[in-house]
Amino acid sequence: MGCSMIRLEGVTKRFGTVTAVDEAHLCVDRGEIVALLGPSGCGKTTLLRLVAGFERPDGGAVEVAGRTCSGPGTWIAPEERRVGMVFQDYALFPHLTVAENVGFGVPRRERATRVAELLEIVGLTEQRRRYPHELSGGQQQRVALARALAPSPELVLLDEPWSNVDPFLRETLRAEVAEIFRPLGVTVVLVTHDREEAFSLADRIALMRNGTILQEGTPEELYFSPASRWAAEFVGAANVLSGPVVGGLVETPLGTFPANGSSTHADASVLVRPELLELEPDPAGPAEVVAREFRGHDVLYRVLLEGVELVSQRPSTEVVPLGSRVSIRLHNGRVPVVD
């Protein structure tokens, strides 16, 4: 993939004794929507702030739109990077109206037309004279988006944009934001700890842990071919089955799977996503349903097979009672080896 918008080369950032970002490498191409996904404290917000120029790296180089912004002997101030930022708490200027907030970064002669244009896009023309505290949370977010977009940046950074919004509103707002960004062709980098958020919005996801980027790829790649057991479990429910490798195949209670060259190991593990496990009621079946969690459009079953607990996800139209014996059938799909 290309690095036309962002290139991070071994970027390191320390706060005292804590290393927040540890030799991170990342590439983002023009026009992409990329999510930085990771648990709290993994350094993803710091990485975003390094791109925006609010932090100086202790090592490595940051390149934005082909221009080296920070690196050995180089430093470009945040106001000269032309990077839009939407803060977690929006950081709207409380002493300015909606229109004044949006127009803050626009040169005076273009201000009136540009502000009108953006308020139209985010649908806040009528609220133009209001102050931030007079707006709902969703409206405040749209002002923050409009303000970041007003100077026509090629790159917009979003820091946990929905963490302050209640869960019911989140989906609506997510769709709204995608609708605003897609037609403009802006490159977007978004920080989140919510995998659903990352999956639904991003073209590509960079998975972060302990200050480094573990894996980059499309949501599908991340979900079906995770780079590690930790990654597999972070991006979704996972059955990780271990067994000895015999003749290039891993032997597990569910059957044998290609070991992908890990025959040198005595043992290997494979990942089976829960939706690949089909349950069939069978009085003579080898497994037993030990728990059942109804979730609306699907049901999660926990089944015990030869002393191993497995998770199966079935549509809620199929009903398998608790305690019944079942046989398990493996649906066609990828079963990758994970370490």
Token digits of residue 86: 């939407």
Does 56 participate in binding other proteins (rule CB under 8 A)?
yes
Residue 11's alpha-carbon distances to 1, 40, 130, in angstroms, are: 19, 19, 41
CB of 228 vs other proteins, minimal distance in Å: 20
Strands 267-272 and 239-246: antiparallel
Does 161 participate in binding other proteins (rule CB under 8 A)?
no
Does 44 participate in binding other proteins (rule CB under 8 A)?
yes
Which residue, 95 or 295, has its beta carbon nearer to other proteins? 95
Stretch that binds other proteins, among 34-42, 133-141, 219-227, 230-238 (CB under 8 A): 34-42
Does 121 participate in binding other proteins (rule CB under 8 A)?
no
Does 131 participate in binding other proteins (rule CB under 8 A)?
no
Which residue, 42 or 299, has its beta carbon nearer to other proteins? 42
Does 60 participate in binding other proteins (rule CB under 8 A)?
no
Task: Pick one of 12, 87, 255, 336: the residue that binds other proteins (CB under 8 A).
Answer: 87
Does 15 participate in binding other proteins (rule CB under 8 A)?
yes
Quote the radius of gyration of the chain (alpha carbons, Å).
24
Secondary structure class of 178 (helix, strand, coil): helix
Stretch that binds other proteins, among 48-56, 60-68, 260-268, 312-320 (CB under 8 A): 48-56
Q: What share of the chain is helix, strand, coil (3-state, %, to 5)?
A: 30, 35, 35
- The 10 Å Cβ neighbour count of residue 330 is 13
Token digits of residue 146: 């409009």
The answer to whether the Cα torsion of 79, 83, 88, 92 is positive or negative is: positive
Does 75 participate in binding other proteins (rule CB under 8 A)?
no
The burial class, CB within 10 Å (0-12 / 13-18 / 19+), for 53 is: buried
CA angle 122, 123, 124 (to 5 degrees): 100
Instruction: For residue 58, give the nearest of 34, 75, 45 by alpha carbon.
Output: 75
Residues 206-225 that bind other proteins (CB under 8 A): 211
Does 73 participate in binding other proteins (rule CB under 8 A)?
no
Does 274 participate in binding other proteins (rule CB under 8 A)?
no
Which residue, 49 or 204, has its beta carbon nearer to other proteins? 49
DSSP character for 331?
Answer: P
Per CB under 8 A, residues contacting other proteins are 13, 15-16, 18, 20-21, 38, 40-46, 49, 52-56, 77-85, 87-89, 91-95, 104-105, 147-148, 150-151, 159-160, 163, 211
